[in-house]
Amino acid sequence: MPEISSYYQPSLTLPDLLKRAAAFPEPLYIGYMDENGGISRQTYAELLDEAMRLAGGLQAMGMAAGDNAIIATGHNRETITLLWGCFLAGVVPTVLQPPLTFSGYNPAVEKLKSVFRQFGEPYIFFSEEVKETGDLPEEKIKYAAELDCSHRFEAPQLKPGDTAFVQFSSGSTGDPKGIVLTHHNLMVNMDAIRIGLDLHFPDHTGNWMPLFHDMGLIGYHLVPLYCSIYQFHTETIDFIKNPGLWLDLMSGAAVNVTGCPNFGLALVLRYLSRKKSFPEWNFAPMKAMLNGAEPISVPIMNEFVERLQPFGFKPEAMMPVYGMAEATLAISFTPLMQPTVVTAFDAAKLDFDGIAEEVPGGSPEARLLSGVGIALNDTEIRIVDVNDNPVGEGRAGHIQLRGEGVTKGYYRNPEATKAAFHGDWLRTGDIGFFYRGNLYISGRHKDIIFKNGRNYFANDLEIMACEIEGISYGKVCFGGTSSRETGHDRVIAFLAGSPGEKAIETFRLLRNLLRANLGITVDELVMVKSNEIPKTSSGKLQRYKLMQRYHAGDFAATTLTAVNL
């Protein structure tokens, strides 16, 4: 039987959690780090007071329980306080990336407009500095500072089965879909996370992930509040500009639980490689650094651990995990403070036959994959074939899951909901397998590239490409297509940041590398600008968008083919 904790109670709703944390005997708080490394504090009691006043302001606007709202504010404290104003009033919010500009092609604007339509054209809350709002209806634009917070707040009657929040997907494989999460979904998964990480007072969590991503919002804001522990945040943009802020935060605030997907680890490594001297960081308190949200690069993960070990970081604190927004957040964890399980598999047998067969790590046919642990106690995981029939351990297939933390469907999208489920099993879209009790993720079904009768995952090709000097993770991605003239499969590589005069030589090196290691040829190299490689909020490459533009002929002027060599 799953462990049932005293934290979890079937009748709880989100407002109950904030009231519980605010009443904790110790004055627990949220720490907000600024771009200079200073930390301001907001106690949970202060958050409750400020959010209640905002909730009264929402009611003064005429908003009632069940109404929707979009929060697209640019500062963590503002976002969190407004979010709780919505929760207290029973308003159903979604948090989106605030657009920096409304001019030109802007993915954040496109997503905002799409969600605005899907969500029933609700009020949109921006930060005060946002004055340009494009062609959005002026009457729908609101600022928290303008709310009438003198209005007396009247708490609505909320139930665990009510919708608490809608998380709109980042759209790594299509248009954003609204994942409906109830108070019950959240409580179940947050309690499973609490158990998996052994979270309890006086733990400290630290976060740089954006609050418009489920890992940042649920994992590093709601979960710490659920567990009545301290939490610290630095703004995502500040981390990207200066990854050292996150390292300073972890050391200075004695953070012992944090997380960083692969692209963030790569950013930190680039930052460390440029530094000549280092502060006296201390990462010894760390018990869990969750590594998930995008495919895990074993070389990048290992290098990160090696670079932080001189500062007390324990290798077993690195925790590969698996999750997705449809499961509220977390699906599987590597057991706490246990060594990361990295296994070398025969790549050809995995790709051709779907069989996971272990080989020596140094063998030429080896593909290194990191296990992502075992299912959390609220979740069941199974691997199935194309007909939804379960397959045994060591066989690759489609990952499906079910549990009380899994969404019941997408917001006002019955077609997508029906397609996402087989009975009560959610189709994740991921390919993976179990081996010696561990779950392994091979890749995304929609990111498979077909060549010479074999399946290749784009992420594997991208990791291999980074062996070439001048190619870095996140600056290269692959797609597959078929020639309209011959019907032959073609492999397309997109590369950002390479000097134009070196493009032909880079193309030659890339072709030789993949031919020597995999026996396949890169048919075209497309040179793009760095900001033209689209990514989700967690860093996942949106390869389909590049392929859409490729097929539309947008890159014809910057495309190299074999005849250029």
Mean pLDDT lowest among 206-215, 266-275, 464-473: 464-473
Q: With contact defined as beta carbons under 8 Å apart, do 540 and 172 qualify?
A: yes
pLDDT at position 517 is 77
pLDDT at position 173 is 46
pLDDT interval class at 556 (50, 70, 90): confident
What's the Cα-to-Cα distance from 528 to each of 96, 263, 471, 477, 534, rounded to whole Å?
Answer: 26, 19, 13, 11, 11
Per-residue pLDDT tens over the stretch 141-199: 999 889 988 989 999 999 999 999 999 986 544 578 999 999 999 999 999 999 999 99
pLDDT at 503 over 70: yes
Work out the percent of the chain whose per-residue pLDDT is above 70. 93
Better-scored residue on pLDDT, 406 or 557? 406
pLDDT at position 170 is 66
Dump the DSSP string for 157-225: ---TTSEEEEEE---SSSS--EEEEEHHHHHHHHHHHHHHHT--TT-EEEE-S-TTSHIIIIIIIIHHH
| Four-point Cα dihedral 190, 196, 202, 203, nearest 10 | -90
Work out the average pLDDT over 285-306: 92
What's the Cα-to-Cα distance from 180 to each of 93, 117, 363, 425, 536, rounded to whole Å?
Answer: 11, 16, 46, 16, 19
pLDDT at 211 over 70: yes
Mean pLDDT lowest among 103-112, 136-145, 286-295, 391-400: 103-112
Pairwise CA distance, residues 265 & 340, whole Å: 16
pLDDT interval class at 486 (50, 70, 90): low
Q: Is the dihedral of CA 103, 108, 110, 114 positive or negative?
A: negative
What's the Cα-to-Cα distance from 65 to each of 117, 161, 438, rounded to whole Å?
Answer: 20, 14, 43
pLDDT at position 513 is 85
What is the three-state SS of 288-350?
EEEECCCCCCHHHHHHHHHHHHHHCCCHHHEEEEEECHHHCCEEEECCCCCCCCEEEEEHHHH
For tokens 């079904």, the residue is 445
pLDDT at position 537 is 62
Work out the percent of the chain whose per-residue pLDDT is above 90. 64
Candidates 440, 213, 452; CA nearest to 332 is: 440
pLDDT at position 281 is 98
pLDDT at position 63 is 97
Q: Can you list the domains of the chain with their CATH numbers?
A: 14-182 (3.40.50.12780), 342-445 (2.30.38.10), 452-564 (3.30.300.30)
Q: With contact defined as beta carbons under 8 Å apart, do 44 and 16 qualify?
A: no
The pLDDT mean for the chain works out to 90
| Four-point Cα dihedral 100, 104, 108, 112, nearest 10 | 110
pLDDT interval class at 4 (50, 70, 90): very low
Distant-in-sequence, close-in-space partners of 423: CB < 8 Å, separation ≥ 6 = none
CB neighbours (10 Å) of residue 128?
A: 13
Residues pairing with 30 in the sheet? 42, 231
pLDDT at 220 over 60: yes
Per-residue pLDDT tens over the stretch 521-533: 888 888 888 778 8
Pairwise CA distance, residues 180 & 249, whole Å: 33
Pairwise CA distance, residues 321 & 17, whole Å: 25
Work out the average pLDDT over 55-78: 97
Strands 330-333 and 318-323: antiparallel
pLDDT at position 521 is 81
Dump the DSSP string for 48-103: HHHHHHHHHHHHHTT--TT-EEEEE-SSHHHHHHHHHHHHHHT-EEEE-PPPS-SS
Pairwise CA distance, residues 40 & 513, whole Å: 50
pLDDT at 1 over 60: no
Work out the average pLDDT over 42-57: 98
Q: With contact defined as beta carbons under 8 Å apart, do 352 and 308 qualify?
A: no
Distant-in-sequence, close-in-space partners of 208: CB < 8 Å, separation ≥ 6 = 233, 234, 235, 236, 238, 239, 245, 246, 249, 260, 264
Better-scored residue on pLDDT, 151 or 306? 306
Residue 23 structure tokens? 């009443």
Work out the average pLDDT over 291-313: 92
Residue 423 per-residue DSSP state:
T
Better-scored residue on pLDDT, 523 or 309? 309
Pairwise CA distance, residues 171 & 173, whole Å: 5
Better-scored residue on pLDDT, 378 or 360? 360
Pairwise CA distance, residues 7 & 137, whole Å: 43
Peptide bond into 202 cis (omega under 30): yes
What's the Cα-to-Cα distance from 101 to each of 98, 104, 108, 109, 122, rounded to whole Å?
Answer: 9, 8, 9, 8, 21
Better-scored residue on pLDDT, 105 or 318? 318
